[in-house]
Structure 1
Amino acid sequence: MERIASFTVDHNKLVPGLYYSRRDGDTVTFDLRFKKPNTGDLLSNSEMHSVEHLIATLLRNSEDKEAVIYFGPMGCQTGFYFLFDNRLLSLEGAIELLQEVFTAAANFEGEMPGKSAVECGNYVNLDVDTGKAVCKFYADLIADWTVEKLSYD
C-alpha cells in the first residue's frame, strides 16, 4: 500500500509550524504542527479539544467561512488539519485567515463555544483559558509565516 502523506514526514525532525500537506482537486490540506512528538511533549486532550472548539468556531464564523472545509485534531496529538477550498481561498489567504483566527482565539472573551452536554459529547474537558494559552503560542509562532515557509524541511 501507498503511505499516506503525513507518514512521509520525519517526526524526529518535525518542528512546530504551518505546513502544506497535500492537494486533492480543489481541496488543500495544511498541517498545523504544535509540538515535537519525539520530546513526549504532546498536546493534552484538554488542549486539543479546547483549541478545536475555539478555532473551528472562529473559522466557521469568518468572512472566509465558505472556503473552510474542515478543522480538526491529528490523532498523534501533535497538531491539527485545516482543509480549505483553493478556489475560494489562496494559500496566502489561508495563512492570513489562520493568523487572524489564532490571534482572535488568544484574545477570546466569553464562554467556551459548545461547552454543554447538549453540544459536545466530552464537554467536561473544555477550558477556555487552556485553549487561549495554546492559541497564543501558535499565533505568535505563525505571525510572520509566508507561503515560502509552508514546506517541511
Structure 2
Amino acid sequence: MKKIASFTIDHIRLKPGIYVSRKDHVNGSVITTFDIRMTSPNDEPVMNTAEVHTIEHLGATFLRNHENWKDRVIYFGPMGCRTGFYLLLAGDYSSHDIVPLMKEMFSFMASYEGEIPGASAKDCGNYLDMNLPMAKYMARRFLTEVLTDIQDSRLYYPE
C-alpha cells in the first residue's frame, strides 16, 4: 500500500507550528487540512486525553461560532498521536492565512473560565474526561512559544 501523505512528514524534525497538511478537491471546491502541532513529536510527552478532549470542545465551539470563519469550518479534532489537532476549512488557504484565527482561538482557550461547552452526560460520550486547567496551560504555552512571534519554519513542513 502507498503511504498516506501525513506519514511522509519527517516527525523527527517536526516542531510545534501550523502546517498545511493537504488540500483536497471536492466537487470543484478546495478543502484545506491544517496540522496544528502543539507538541514536538517523539521528543516531549504527548498531551493526555483529558486536556485534548477539553481543547477539542473549546476549539470546536470557538471556531463554529466565529463570525468570520464559522461557515468555512468543516472539522476540528485531535490527532491520534495526541501531539496536536487537525483543522479542516472549506477554501484554499496557506498557514499564514489562519495565524490570526489561531492566535484568537488559543487566546480564547488560554483565558477560558466557566463550564466547558458540551461537558455533560447528555452532550458528550465521555464528559468526565476533561481537564480545563491543563488545557488552558497547553493553549497558553502554544500561544506564547509558537504563535506570538511565529516564524516561517513553524508554518512549512521540514524538508
> Does 2:103 align with 1:99?
yes
Query: What 5-or-longer segments of structure 1 have no aligned partner?
Result: none
Alpha-carbon offset, residue 146 of structure 1: 6.4
Instruction: Provide the TM-score with structure 1 as the length reference.
Output: 0.90
What's the counterpart of residue 30 of structure 1? 34
How far the C-alpha of 1:43 sits from its partner, in A, is 0.8
**Deviation of residue 112 (structure 1)?**
0.9
The answer to whether the 8 A contact 1:17-1:32 is kept is yes
Aligned identity (percent) is 44
Counterpart of 1:60 in structure 2 is 64
Which residues in structure 2 correspond to 1:1-153 (within 5 Å)?
A: 1-25=1-25, 26-39=30-43, 41-63=45-67, 64-86=69-91, 91-140=95-144, 141-145=146-150, 149-153=154-158
Cα shift readout 1:61-84 (whole Å, capped 9, x = no counterpart): 101100111100001111100110
TM superposition shift of 1:91: 4.8
Cα offsets for 1:80-126 (capped at 9, x unmatched): 00110116x66544221111111111111211111111111111111
Instruction: Give 4+ residue runs of structure 1 displaced > 4 Å after superposition.
Output: 146-149
Greater relative contact order (CA < 8 Å, ≥ 6 in sequence): 2
The answer to whether the 8 A contact 1:43-1:78 is kept is yes
The alignment's TM-score, normalised by the length of structure 2, stands at 0.87
* Distance in structure 1 (CA, Å) of the matches to 2:51 and 2:43: 17
- Cα distance in 2 for partners of 1:40, 1:147 equals 22
Q: CA deviation at 1:143?
A: 2.1
Q: How many residues were matched structurally? A: 152
